[in-house]
Amino acid sequence: MAIVIERFVSLKASKVAPPRLLEEVLGVTRTSVPAPDVVAQLERNSAMGEVLASGLRALNADPRCTEDDLRAVMEGSGRIVAHRLEHYLSALATIASAAPLMGLFGTVVGMIEIFGSQAPGGATGGNPAQLAHGISIALYNTAFGLIVAIPSLIFWRYFRGRVDEYLLTLELAAGHLARHLKALRK
């Protein structure tokens, strides 16, 4: 649950890709590249701001920076942001994968214990109530494994899709800014 709550908080659109941020950056850069203090403020704004600011920072450092160099800088920044956005997703996927196996393991151990507790020497007539109770406990293990696995898998798929969508948005925004800055320098 902690991972799911953390991912919901961390993957808010306002923290990753605010809807109007690209338009604001394009507006600010209509005539020139903003000063380093404005770029630093943009970087602290969001993940998208961090990627866009890396391109502006590269231009502030080297005004003759080629478009390929500019794209490479923003791509590198994008990789760092992508790593942050994917934080804990592998742990959530592991939980979704391992939980049913843990439930199955509990079931198998429970079944072994049930059959081990039956009358030795092949005698028939074990206690049916004890057998039914043991099977019930074993099946609870499977159910609990599935209770953990199913929501984990659902949330992993949801967050994976959300991260992929954000990464596409960031990539498109960086490309748009690179083309805009190229036109600005001509």
pLDDT in tens, 67-118: 899 999 999 999 999 999 999 999 999 999 999 999 999 888 888 878 776 6
Query: What pTM, to 2 d.p., does this model score?
Result: 0.83
CB half-sphere exposure, 37, CA atoms < 13 A: 0
3-class DSSP state for residue 62? coil
pLDDT in tens, 153-183: 999 999 999 999 999 999 999 999 999 988 8
pLDDT in tens, 11-68: 999 999 999 999 999 999 988 889 999 999 999 999 999 999 999 999 989 888 888 9
CB 69 within 8 A of CB 57: no
